[in-house]
């Protein structure tokens, strides 16, 4: 019988650190980027992995919050020494985090989760909804050959083109656009209210991009209904697609089983998989939406 606790990405390489905030800046409405130095974490983490973050010295809220890697910060000698995380203010922890200033401390443990697999493709299409753009700057930088991630560094084949289809409620929630433009990412935006870009769904943008794409791969992060819609589009077009699930987590290391998702195996039957350990990146065709 297979060990039900077996997974390829247990947190056995993760470490816990008390870190000091270097920057905590506003990017868009209710959206902030926090930066802290943590060389060991910065060397190990890969695009799609996440960090559990907690305000140091406080037990309210008691549990940490999972935040995906936005990007690493390099020292002039090209060594990764810091981490950027982007978050949306939704509850008590993120509200308190948004009020913190450089010099204040956080408890961080990671890297956690499996990250995006380094699959070969010619056209990488990233689809984001809400705060779902956060895993993609590092992934884009890696596939453009501008930076390496992981220890030892991952080997990733370069792509010819990267496109981001990014949807939000309104223009004031679109965060980090300049970061993607500076990387040379082909950027398409949509808003629910029509205040920026396409007035409608981000999947409308995706279908337009796919009409002209060749040898494409889709990666997706955002609200579950949006990811399900993207998964259906990918299946109809026969395009491989990985999704980064945003299932609420409590422990982040596979102990509590609070973040499970229904995932189909190779035999077609489904079982519960922990987003924090077996994920958060899954093949979209395997998810029981």
Q: What is the pLDDT of residues 38-73, one digit of tens each?
A: 999 999 999 999 999 999 999 888 889 999 999 999
Q: Give the whole-angstrom CA distance, residue 65 versus residue 91.
A: 11
The predicted-structure confidence for 78-102, as pLDDT tens digits, reads as follows 789 999 999 999 999 999 999 999 9
Banded pLDDT at 77 (limits 50, 70, 90): confident
If asked whether residues 94 and 185 sit together in one domain, one would say: no
If asked whether residues 23 and 94 sit together in one domain, one would say: yes
pLDDT at residue 1 in the model: 35
Q: Give the whole-angstrom CA distance, residue 243 versus residue 114.
A: 12
The domain boundary, picked from 91, 112, 133, lies at 112
If asked whether residues 18 and 106 sit together in one domain, one would say: yes
If asked whether residues 273 and 130 sit together in one domain, one would say: yes
Q: Is residue 4 part of a domain?
A: no
Q: Is residue 43 part of a domain?
A: yes
Banded pLDDT at 9 (limits 50, 70, 90): low
Task: Give the pTM.
Answer: 0.93
If asked whether residues 128 and 248 sit together in one domain, one would say: yes
Q: Is residue 6 part of a domain?
A: no
Q: Is the pLDDT of residue 3 over 70?
A: no
Taking residue 131's Cβ as centre, other Cβ atoms within 10 Å add up to 22
Structurally, the chain folds into a number of domains equal to 2
If asked whether residues 140 and 270 sit together in one domain, one would say: yes
Q: Is residue 2 part of a domain?
A: no
The domain boundary, picked from 92, 112, 132, lies at 112
Q: Is residue 5 part of a domain?
A: no
Average model confidence (pLDDT) for the chain? Answer: 93
Residue 163 sits in which domain range?
Answer: 123-286
In CATH, what number is assigned to the domain containing residue 261? 3.40.50.80
Q: Is residue 3 part of a domain?
A: no
If asked whether residues 141 and 66 sit together in one domain, one would say: no
The predicted-structure confidence for 256-270, as pLDDT tens digits, reads as follows 999 999 999 988 899
Q: Is residue 184 part of a domain?
A: yes
If asked whether residues 188 and 273 sit together in one domain, one would say: yes
If asked whether residues 138 and 268 sit together in one domain, one would say: yes
Q: Is residue 48 part of a domain?
A: yes
If asked whether residues 149 and 275 sit together in one domain, one would say: yes
- Section 170-180 average pLDDT: 97
């Amino acid at each position: 019988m297979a060990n039900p606790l077996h997974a390829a990405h247990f947190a056995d390489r993760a470490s816990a650190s008390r870190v000091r905030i270097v920057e905590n800046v506003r990017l868009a409405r209710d959206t902030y980027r926090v930066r802290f130095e943590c060389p060991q974490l910065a060397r190990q983490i890969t695009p799609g992995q996440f960090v559990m973050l907690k305000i140091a010295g406080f037990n309210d809220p008691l549990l940490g919050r999972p935040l995906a890697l936005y990007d690493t910060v390099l020292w002039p000698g090209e060594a990764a020494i810091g981490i950027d995380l982007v978050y949306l203010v939704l509850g008590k922890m993120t509200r308190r985090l948004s009020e913190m200033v450089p010099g204040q401390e956080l408890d961080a443990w990671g890297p956690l989760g499996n990250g995006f697999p380094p699959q070969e493709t010619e056209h990488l299409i990233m689809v984001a909804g809400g705060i779902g753009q956060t895993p993609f700057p590092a992934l884009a930088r890696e596939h453009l050959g501008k930076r390496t991630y992981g220890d030892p560094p991952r080997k990733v084949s370069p792509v010819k083109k990267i496109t981001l289809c990014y949807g939000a409620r309104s223009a004031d929630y679109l965060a980090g656009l300049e970061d993607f433009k500076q990387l040379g990412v082909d950027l398409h935006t949509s808003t629910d209210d029509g205040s920026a870009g396409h007035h409608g769904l981000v999947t409308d943008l995706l279908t337009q991009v796919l009409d002209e794409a060749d040898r494409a791969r889709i990666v997706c992060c955002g609200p579950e209904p949006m990811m399900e819609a993207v998964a259906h589009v990918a299946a109809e077009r026969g395009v491989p697609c990985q999704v980064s699930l945003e299932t609420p987590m409590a422990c982040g290391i596979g102990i509590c089983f609070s973040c499970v998702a229904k995932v189909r195996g190779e035999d077609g039957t489904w079982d519960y998989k922990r987003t924090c350990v077996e994920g958060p990146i899954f093949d979209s065709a395997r998810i029981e939406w």
